[in-house]
Amino acid sequence: MDKRMYNFIGLSLLASSLMLGNPQAVQAAHIDFDHQAKAAAAQTSKPADAKEQWYWLASDDNYSKYFDPESVVVTRTVETAHGKVPTEIQVWTKTTYSYGGAQDTLKAYGLSDKFPDASKLNFSTAQLVIRPQFRTVQCIAEHFYDASGKVIWSEANPAAKEKEINSQNFNEDFYAATVDQAFHQSREMERVNAKNRWLTVFDSTSPDGIYTHTKVDTSTMRMQGSNLVFWQWQEVKNSDGQVMEIKFLKMAVNLPQATEKAIAGQYWTPKTGWKSLDAAIDGQYRMVSRNSEEYRYIIELRNYVETHSAWVHRYGLE
């Protein structure tokens, strides 16, 4: 379960473009898979108070996030032309809470009545299963602790729902750090934390002053066949600069054909707040005309893929 949703409007403050160098191809070299498989089989619990094992990842007013690099194990692989590639990774993580963070967490988990005093929740540990080819995280075990290290709530669910990682998911830092550890790299964390992770692909102002700004999250970009898949943020403002609507969409763009479709997403207006768009998405591709102003969007994406080929094909099984 996600512990929070970030303030979506705050994303509009992120930088508009990403100009990283062309990274080298990411492969799964030098991973001792036999050792990792044995380690994964032996993992059944995680000590609550082992401070030397926890590596700090991020903090805000409500949460501090840590993970244990030694707990990262590759549990499934696929043999490819360039060796074995991890397709499933497990990790133990730790989260500490401020009073407000504990309140939000207990409410999200439906535990507010059981623990009316939020200060009872001091920290938690969780075992995650990560699938890098699909950018998903599955929480299969979680334990809540008080300040003394006593377990106050615990849950294990090997069939827990997988959730896709994007900028709104609480587990984004855990995902990035774990994948980097498994693949012996630092690129996922670097891209997630880059000030310019968002690439502006389309800006337009209509004759009556309506401004449309579209940017895409390059940390989520990956090629699936001819499709570039990513999460996109689009704002529409009136002539006074006030936000009229926002769309946060998972997109698939067929680059050779210049067609696009929405896969999932949410929609915001000042009147309605955030609403899911999933029921309204028909899954059909839409042609972007070469003669339209919007075609610049296709050109920007093609240029990015051409200059960042290794990144958008990372963890590929072809």
Q: Which residue has the higher pLDDT, 139 or 47?
A: 139
pLDDT of residue 82: 83
Three-state SS across 242-309?
Answer: CEEEEEEEEEEEECCCCEEEEEEEEEEECCCEEEECHHHCCCCCEECCCCCCCHHHHHHHHHHHHHCH
Token pair for residue 24?
């080298």
Mean pLDDT of 140-151: 97
Q: Specify the DSSP class assigned to residue 310.
A: H
pLDDT digits (tens, 9 = 90+) for 79-112: 998 899 999 999 999 999 999 999 999 999 999 9
Q: Which residue has the higher pLDDT, 250 or 16?
A: 250
Question: Quick check: helix, strand or coil at residue 27?
Answer: coil
Mean pLDDT of 2-9: 38
How far apart CA 256 and CA 248 sit, in angstroms, is 24
- Within a 10 A sphere around the Cβ of 293, how many other Cβ atoms? 11
pLDDT band at 52 (very low <50, low <70, confident <90, very high): low
How far apart CA 315 and CA 28 sit, in angstroms, is 8
How far apart CA 199 and CA 216 sit, in angstroms, is 5
Average pLDDT across the chain, whole number: 87
Residues 229 and 219: beta-carbon distance below 8 Å: no
How far apart CA 90 and CA 139 sit, in angstroms, is 10
Phi and psi at residue 11, to the nearest 5°: -65, -25
Half-sphere exposure of 210 (CA within 13 A, CB side): 6
pLDDT of residue 12: 35
pLDDT of residue 318: 78
Domains of the chain, start order: 51-191 (2.40.128), 195-313 (no CATH)
* Side chain identity, residue 195: K
Mean pLDDT of 246-261: 97
pLDDT digits (tens, 9 = 90+) for 152-194: 999 999 999 999 999 999 999 999 999 999 999 999 999 999 9
